[in-house]
Structure 1
Amino acid sequence: MSTITDQTRAGLRQWIADVDDAASRLPVAGGLFARRWRVLIVEPGQMRYRDGRGEEAVLPARMTPAEAGPLIAALAQSGPLVLRFSSAMGFRRTARFPSAARGHLDEAARLALPRLSPLPVPDTAYALERDSLNETEGWIDVSLAMVRRSDLDHALARAAAMGLKPAAADLMRTDPDAAPVCDLREGRRTPPAGHSAFRWAIGAAALFLVAALGLTLDNQVRLEPRLAEIETPATIEATLQSAIVQARAKGAADPVTIALADLARRLPDGAYATDIAFNNGSLRVSGLAWDAAATLSALANAPEFEGAAFSGATVRDEETGRERFDLTLRHVVSGSEARP
């Protein structure tokens, strides 16, 4: 179980490192995720501390940590530190692998180490310099940096004695102050030691999540009850206003208009009146025979109409041959007596 956990953690670290490395190479925003590196150069018989701003201090092997401390303190202390071996202290070989091994280059380098390293494998610290990767015709060429592990351990111990804690270790290339591309300590790619793009993304996502939760809670606890208080009186007022407008319109209309409006409102769906006659409050409605029962039931129960009379017989229309009914009743204006 511990092996699986360790592999998972290593894979996650490598994935985060890949994300940070890709972010540091962006054209504009990459500057946010990269920082100036300090360099501790390991040479035969001495070390050189460079602060990344062009200043350096030479630290001979015979110099004690107490003596080296003031020299280092006199230079800039900001930025991550890389332990960098000079070319005389290490080796660099070009390794070739099939393109199919692109996703497993670290494992391929470990297997190829016996034929690539001039040093005994147990005493070899190595890492691929992936920025040199070149793929052509189904093969991948990449540089492999190597130093003696005993030299690496000794240099790390001396750096620690001087109060320095390297964030990476690599082999010198053209620019002594360049950011490292690999870490000989663990044989992996070196993430940019600036601001982590992955952590920035996680932080931004967390802030957005907290803001969204805060807005949701504020909406449920404060805004929705307040909105209900505001909307309820407005709804009641709108309903009352509509009723007032309808009542005023009805009061201003003539009896025939009122009677026709009430009749249209009270007729059931699917029932039709073909002839309507209004005279001094009396209303005569004619329609097709099959609508008679529904029409009579609807109008007899309506408060606007009273005295519905239906002879119970239907009359055949001589022109169309359809049977018709005749219904007489009185119309009563709501809230008043029937009009004469």
Structure 2
Amino acid sequence: MSGFAEQARLALRQWTADVDDAASRLPLAGGLFARRWRVLLVEPGRMRYRDGRGGETIIPSGMSPTEAGAGIAALNRSGPLVLRFASSLGFRRNARFPSAARAHLDDAARLALPRLSPLGAAETAHALERDTLREADGWIDVSLALVRRSDLDTALARADALGLKAFACDLARADIDAAPVCDLREGRRAPSAGHSAFRWVTGVAAVLFLVSAGMLLDTRFRLAPRLAAVETPAEIEASLQAAIRQARAKLAADPLTVALNDLSRRLPDGAYVTDISFDRGELRVSGLAWDAAATISALDSAPEFSNITFPSATVRDEATGRERFDLSMRHVAVQPEAGE
């Protein structure tokens, strides 16, 4: 089980490094995740501490940590540190692997180390410099950085004594202050520095997950019970009883008021009443309309009115251009239809 956990840890670390490396190369956003490194350069007989801002102090091998600490403290100490070996303390080998091994190049380099290192596999610290990787014709060519492991252990112990913790170890190249592309300590890609894109994305995803979970819980335990209470049969029954009471109140109202309300609802647009009389359900109406026949038809089809008669013929009013009508009918209050 421990072997599986170790493999999972290494896979996650490699995945994190791949994501961070890809994010640092983005055209615009890459600057947010760019690596910012200080350098502790290991040279024969001395070390040089470079703070990445142009400052440098030389630390001879015989200088005590206390003496060297003053020079280091005078320089900038923000950002991760790479322990870098001068070219004279290490060497490189060009390695070739089949393209099928692309996903496992670090393991392939470890297996090929006995034929690539003159020091022997146990005495060699190594790492692939992936920025040199070239692939063609089914083969991958890449540079392999190597240093003596005893030199690496000595340099790490010296850096620790100076109060400098290394985040990566590599072999110097043309640009002394460049970001590392590998880590000789574990034979892998250099760890992320600066702002990790993988951790940032993971944090944002965690926040969104917590917000979503909170909204679901709020809906489940607060909003859902309220909605259920609003939609209970008791509430629906109360609404129906209120509608029934309103209908009954209308039926119990003054007959003339009810008749006028029904008449105003049934008259078509453009028709209006100029004279009205009501006696025990008998209603006589005079008025004007653009189309008297349509007005009569609308009232005749209404359930509240019956026995419509025409005491006089319709004539056109010269002043308004409308037709004058004179109707007699009987009004009977009825239960209002749904939606009226």
Q: Shared topology, TM-score over 0.5?
A: yes
Q: Quick check: 2:39–2:84 contact (8 Å CA) kept in 1?
A: yes
Match for residue 63 of structure 2? 63
The superposition leaves residues 305-337 of structure 1 with CA deviations (integer Å, 9 ceiling, x where unpaired) of xxxxxxxxxxxxxxxxxxxxxxxxxx97547xx
Deviation at 1:251, TM superposition (A): 3.6
Change (3 A) 1:2 1:217: closer
Q: Could you tell me how far apart the structure 1 residues matched to 2:101 and 2:222 are?
A: 59
In the TM superposition, 1:3-152 aligns within 5 A as 3-152=3-152
Deviation at 1:141, TM superposition (A): 0.5
Q: Could you tell me how far apart the structure 1 residues matched to 2:190 and 2:35 are?
A: 13
- The two structures, once aligned, show a CA RMSD in angstroms of 3.4
Deviation at 1:217, TM superposition (A): 4.4
Match for residue 210 of structure 2? 210
1:171 aligns with 2:216: no
Partner SS state of residue 110, structure 2 = helix
The superposition leaves residues 124-182 of structure 1 with CA deviations (integer Å, 9 ceiling, x where unpaired) of 00000111100011111000000000000000000000101000000001111111010
Q: Quick check: 2:303–2:334 contact (8 Å CA) kept in 1?
A: no
Q: Could you tell me how far apart the structure 1 residues matched to 2:7 and 2:188 are?
A: 14
The superposition leaves residues 99-122 of structure 1 with CA deviations (integer Å, 9 ceiling, x where unpaired) of 111112112111211111121211
Change (3 A) 1:255 1:8: same
Q: Quick check: 1:21–1:191 contact (8 Å CA) kept in 2?
A: no
Q: Which amino acid in 1 is paired with 2:74?
A: A
Deviation at 1:184, TM superposition (A): 0.2
Match for residue 284 of structure 2? none
Match for residue 273 of structure 2? none
Q: Could you tell me how far apart the structure 1 residues matched to 2:141 and 2:151 are?
A: 27
Partner SS state of residue 188, structure 1 = coil
Match for residue 323 of structure 2? none
Q: Quick check: 2:167–2:191 contact (8 Å CA) kept in 1?
A: no
Residue among 297, 300, 303 paired with 1:258 = 303
Q: Could you tell me how far apart the structure 1 residues matched to 2:28 and 2:57 are?
A: 33
Which runs of 5 or more residues in structure 2 are unaligned?
252-257, 267-298, 309-330, 336-340
Change (3 A) 1:229 1:26: same
Q: Percent identity?
A: 63
Q: Could you tell me how far apart the structure 2 residues matched to 1:259 and 1:67 are?
A: 111
Partner SS state of residue 183, structure 1 = coil
Deviation at 1:54, TM superposition (A): 1.2
The superposition leaves residues 265-317 of structure 1 with CA deviations (integer Å, 9 ceiling, x where unpaired) of xxxxxxxxxxxxx879xxxxxxxxxxxxxxxxxxxxxxxxxxxxxxxxxxxxx
The superposition leaves residues 203-222 of structure 1 with CA deviations (integer Å, 9 ceiling, x where unpaired) of 11111122233344455666
The superposition leaves residues 75-120 of structure 1 with CA deviations (integer Å, 9 ceiling, x where unpaired) of 0000000000000000111101111111121121112111111212
Change (3 A) 1:220 1:102: closer
Length, aligned pairs only: 266
Q: Which amino acid in 1 is paired with 2:112?
A: A
Partner SS state of residue 177, structure 2 = coil
Q: Which amino acid in 2 is paired with 1:209?
A: F
Q: Which amino acid in 2 is paired with 1:23?
A: A
Q: Could you tell me how far apart the structure 1 residues matched to 2:112 and 2:216 are?
A: 57
Match for residue 286 of structure 1? none
Q: Quick check: 2:262–2:304 contact (8 Å CA) kept in 1?
A: no
Q: Could you tell me how far apart the structure 2 residues matched to 1:10 and 1:202 are?
A: 18
- Length-normalised TM-score, structure 1: 0.69
Deviation at 1:51, TM superposition (A): 0.1
Deviation at 1:12, TM superposition (A): 1.3
Q: Could you tell me how far apart the structure 2 residues matched to 1:150 and 1:69 are?
A: 24
- Length-normalised TM-score, structure 2: 0.69
